[in-house]
């Protein structure tokens, strides 16, 4: 239709020109203008947008694409490969020492080589983004599905606590998903950073991982910067064909299960790739026959998982269910769900491998929901403290929380928009400028931010055995002599660690804490590590007094603040501190009276107010809150304590 319209417009213009110019004198008659080929814009030298491996695969495997020489899997076995003397195999692991940037330059400009080993320039044939797409796809051919899967496991257990689940990082940690970040780094260079550490961050050494595991983690890291990275879960020889299905996911047809959503199938063959998914519900008591069960098929993209198809069926009397004719998609995730105890509960996601039976078995365990917090444990809480302005500190914290109970933890409390609350963490009185890490913000919210004592609450149920990581920062005013941190803790804390900057002379003079002989060394400087000797029971008061040295009067540079936050993420995901604590000499030192600590905090607050460092309304609110905490220790009404 567009071609026909364009032809009609051209014809109309020609006829109009002829009728309007036929009587012109010869001196002004029209002459054809020379054809001018527009000059393509100069390259940016980096991907203009995120690399799309699916588009790269299509270009690579096209009729005039790279596969004609390099072969569909990068093994130099394409139709015209025999015409050349050289054999550059893209899928060879020796390419670990190459960079995507170098390959982009070679693809853009060619190699000026002899005819027997010629790489032609592609600058005028493909725009810059297309070249980045196809070069990145070619580079990815030396990664195997096994590497990507293993790398994903290592990333989740070792790397995600610092860099985030998808590599976005926090604070001064780099955003590894940024399209240009890794293009100039070879796999060998990245491997060395895991083996020998990186400047000013010697803790970044992972020699406890095997060489194969380190390279697997780097393969997954590279995938985080690419869209359509689910291609890498398929063998190289199948990736180009699979890429063609991503733009139009195959339909899922079945009889027993009602499809909720399904995209049209690009080919009849793809539509025939179906199988059966069966499952069993395990609940404290049998569910009613006919209970709705939903199954979802999700493409495992590292950046933007998407639903390929969804089905619905009902539960049988024997607590089993079945979905017939389900889309069979290697590399996809299958998740069943149903409603139980007023909460939607899910099965453990199953990743479909390359070789599967005609039936997939899933288990759907269901749990009772309880508001009882006795199963919630803070396995590790860590706080970094620094001075960012006169009488103002920055505290950056992280908690690793686990549900050791047998029920889902979810309270009856609700947010303003009627979301049920599970976890709640009070911040110290006067906390301001509260910021959640990007990944924590998906689960947690800041509540009562303008009140004297803000809270962080989770609106997601906490499943049995589930581990949640909370990362946040806030500012806290303090008098001239010390930083006093006081806040309730609803849940027991197995390990509490506080880091203070050594350069400022800050220290914790509290016999409940022991000083680790090894400081934390960061780009911004060294930080002393103080560890609470004994676990802290639930419903106690966290009270930490950080004494400031003479060098602490100057405010820290903002860049230092960001680095400190990054350091927190580096350390929170490990259990090294817990192992260290188990080897420590656990000297039994009596803990100071918490009442005395609260009284000291009230006195410090009075001193700060008398110096004119606090507004009266803020002072009164904080003082009342401290008195209330003191009253809770003595079981007295706040008004009876001074």
Q: Whole-model pTM?
A: 0.52
Residue 82 banded pLDDT, cuts 50, 70, 90: confident
Of the two residues 604 and 2, the one the predictor is more confident about is 604
Q: pLDDT tens digit string along 560-587?
A: 333 333 333 433 332 222 222 222 232 3
At residue 393, the 3 state secondary structure works out as strand
Query: Are the beta carbons of 632 and 510 closer than 8 angstroms?
Result: no
Q: Which of 325, 300, 168 is nearest to 231 (CA)?
A: 300
Q: Which of 438, 279, 422 is nearest to 359 (CA)?
A: 279
Q: What is the pLDDT of residue 533?
A: 92
| pLDDT exceeds cutoff 80 at 29 | no
> Which of the 8 DSSP states describes residue 157?
I
Q: What is the pLDDT of residue 575?
A: 28
Q: pLDDT tens digit string along 366-413?
A: 999 999 999 999 999 999 998 888 888 999 898 999 999 999 999 999
Q: What is the pLDDT of residue 383?
A: 93
Report how far apart the first and last C-alpha atoms of the chain are (Å, whole number): 85
Q: What is the pLDDT of residue 128?
A: 87
- Which of left, alpha, beta for 156 (phi over 0: left; psi -120 to 50: alpha)? alpha
| pLDDT exceeds cutoff 80 at 608 | no
> Phi, psi at residue 577, to the nearest 5°?
-65, -35
DSSP secondary structure letters along 309-362: EEEEEE--TTSEEEEEEEE--TTEEEEEEEEETTEEEEPPPEE--SS--SEEEE
Burial class (CB in 10 A: 0-12, 13-18, 19+), 318: exposed
Q: What is the pLDDT of residue 256?
A: 41
The answer to which of 30-44, 138-152, 167-181 has the lowest mean pLDDT is: 30-44
Is 373-592 in CATH node 3.40.50? no
* Geometric angle at alpha carbon 207, from 157 and 93, rounded to 5°: 90
* Helical (H) or strand (E) element with 431: none
| pLDDT exceeds cutoff 50 at 286 | yes
Of the two residues 296 and 4, the one the predictor is more confident about is 296
Residue 316 banded pLDDT, cuts 50, 70, 90: very high
| Beta-carbon contacts of residue 326 (< 8 Å; ≥ 6 apart) | 252, 254, 257, 274, 275, 276, 277, 295, 297, 309, 311, 334, 360
Query: What is the Cα–Cα distance from 33 to 365, expressed in whole angstroms?
Result: 75
Sheet holding 359-365, edge to edge: 320-327, 274-282, 359-365
Query: What is the Cα–Cα distance from 393 to 349, expressed in whole angstroms?
Result: 43
Q: pLDDT tens digit string along 408-444?
A: 999 999 998 888 999 999 999 999 999 998 778 888 9
> Which of the 8 DSSP states describes residue 462?
B
Q: What is the pLDDT of residue 117?
A: 74
Query: What is the Cα–Cα distance from 278 to 427, expressed in whole angstroms?
Result: 47
Q: pLDDT tens digit string along 525-537?
A: 788 999 999 999 9
Interhelix angle for 128-140 vs 53-60, to 10°?
Answer: 90
Cα–Cα separations (whole angstroms), residue 70 to 60, 73, 75, 89, 460: 9, 8, 6, 7, 49
CATH topology of domain 248-366: Immunoglobulin-like (2.60.40)
Query: What is the Cα–Cα distance from 585 to 587, expressed in whole angstroms?
Result: 6
Q: Which of 223, 212, 239, 235 is nearest to 355 (CA)?
A: 235
Query: What is the Cα–Cα distance from 13 to 21, expressed in whole angstroms?
Result: 12
| pLDDT exceeds cutoff 50 at 447 | yes
| Beta-carbon contacts of residue 635 (< 8 Å; ≥ 6 apart) | none
| pLDDT exceeds cutoff 80 at 121 | yes
Q: What is the pLDDT of residue 381?
A: 93
Query: What is the Cα–Cα distance from 372 to 402, expressed in whole angstroms?
Result: 14
Q: What is the pLDDT of residue 532?
A: 94
Share of the chain above pLDDT 70, in %: 73
Residue 614 banded pLDDT, cuts 50, 70, 90: low
Structure tokens at 602: 């009230």
Query: Are the beta carbons of 338 and 292 closer than 8 angstroms?
Result: yes
Q: What is the pLDDT of residue 356?
A: 61
Q: pLDDT tens digit string along 505-551?
A: 889 999 999 998 888 877 667 889 999 999 999 998 888 999 987 55
CATH topology of domain 43-245: Cytochrome Bc1 Complex; Chain D, domain 2 (1.10.760)
Name 487's bridge partners: 542
Of the two residues 98 and 160, the one the predictor is more confident about is 98
């Amino acid at each position: 239709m567009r071609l026909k319209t364009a032809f009609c417009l051209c014809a109309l213009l020609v006829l109009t020109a002829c009728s309007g110019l036929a009587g012109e004198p010869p001196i002004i008659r029209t002459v054809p203008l020379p054809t001018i080929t527009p000059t393509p814009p100069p390259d940016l030298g980096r991907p203009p947008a995120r690399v799309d491996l699916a588009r790269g695969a299509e270009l690579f495997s096209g009729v005039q694409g790279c596969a004609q020489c390099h072969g569909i899997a990068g093994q130099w076995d394409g139709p015209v490969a025999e015409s050349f003397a050289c054999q550059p195999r893209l899928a060879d692991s020796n390419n670990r020492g190459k960079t995507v940037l170098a390959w982009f330059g070679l693809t853009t400009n060619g190699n000026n080589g002899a005819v027997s080993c010629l790489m032609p320039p592609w600058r005028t044939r493909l725009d810059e983004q297309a070249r980045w797409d196809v070069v990145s796809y070619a580079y990815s051919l030396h990664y195997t599905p096994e590497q990507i899967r293993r790398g994903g496991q290592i990333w989740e257990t070792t790397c995600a606590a610092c860099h985030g689940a998808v590599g976005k990082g926090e604070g001064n940690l780099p955003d590894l998903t940024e399209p240009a970040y890794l293009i100039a780094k070879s796999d060998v260079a990245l491997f060395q950073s895991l083996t020998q550490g990186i400047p000013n961050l010697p803790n970044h050494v992972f020699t406890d991982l095997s060489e194969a595991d380190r390279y697997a983690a780097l393969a997954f890291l590279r995938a985080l910067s690419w869209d359509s990275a689910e291609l890498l879960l398929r063998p190289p020889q199948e990736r180009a064909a699979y890429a063609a299905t991503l733009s139009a996911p195959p339909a899922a047809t079945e009889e027993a299960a009602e499809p909720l959503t399904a995209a049209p199938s690009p080919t009849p063959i793809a539509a025939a790739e179906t199988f059966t998914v069966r499952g069993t519900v395990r609940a404290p008591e049998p569910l009613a026959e006919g209970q709705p069960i939903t199954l979802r098929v999700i493409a495992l993209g590292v950046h933007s998982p998407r639903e390929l198809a969804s089905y619905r069926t009902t539960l049988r009397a024997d607590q089993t269910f079945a979905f017939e004719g389900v889309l069979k998609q290697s590399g996809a995730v299958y998740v069943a769900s149903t409603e139980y105890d007023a909460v939607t509960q899910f099965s453990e996601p199953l990743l479909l491998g390359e070789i599967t039976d005609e039936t997939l078995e899933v288990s759907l365990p269901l749990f009772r929901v309880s508001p009882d917090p006795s199963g919630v444990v803070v396995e590790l809480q860590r706080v970094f403290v620094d001075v960012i302005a006169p009488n103002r500190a920055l505290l950056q914290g992280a908690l690793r929380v686990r549900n050791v109970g047998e029920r889902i933890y979810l309270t009856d409390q609700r947010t303003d928009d009627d979301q049920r609350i599970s976890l709640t963490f009070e911040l110290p009185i006067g906390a301001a400028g509260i910021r959640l890490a990007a990944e924590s913000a998906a689960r947690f919210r800041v509540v009562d931010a303008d009140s004297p004592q803000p809270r962080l609450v989770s609106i997601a149920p906490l499943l049995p055995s589930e581990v949640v990581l909370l990362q946040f920062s806030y500012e806290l005013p303090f008098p001239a002599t010390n930083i006093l941190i006081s806040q309730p803790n609803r849940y027991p804390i197995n390990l509490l660690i506080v880091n203070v900057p050594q350069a400022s002379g800050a220290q914790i003079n509290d016999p409940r804490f022991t000083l680790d002989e090894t400081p934390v060394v960061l780009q911004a400087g060294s930080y002393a590590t103080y560890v609470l000797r004994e676990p802290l029971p639930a419903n106690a008061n966290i009270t930490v007094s950080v004494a400031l040295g003479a060098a602490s009067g100057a405010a820290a540079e903002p860049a230092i603040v960001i680095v400190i936050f990054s350091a927190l993420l580096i350390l929170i995901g490990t259990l090294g501190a817990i192992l260290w604590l188990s080897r420590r000499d656990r000297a039994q030192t009596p803990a100071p009276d918490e009442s005395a600590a609260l009284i000291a905090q009230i006195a410090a607050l009075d001193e700060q107010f008398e110096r004119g460092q606090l507004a009266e309304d803020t002072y009164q609110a904080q003082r009342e809150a401290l008195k209330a905490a003191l009253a809770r220790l003595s079981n007295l009404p706040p008004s009876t304590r001074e």
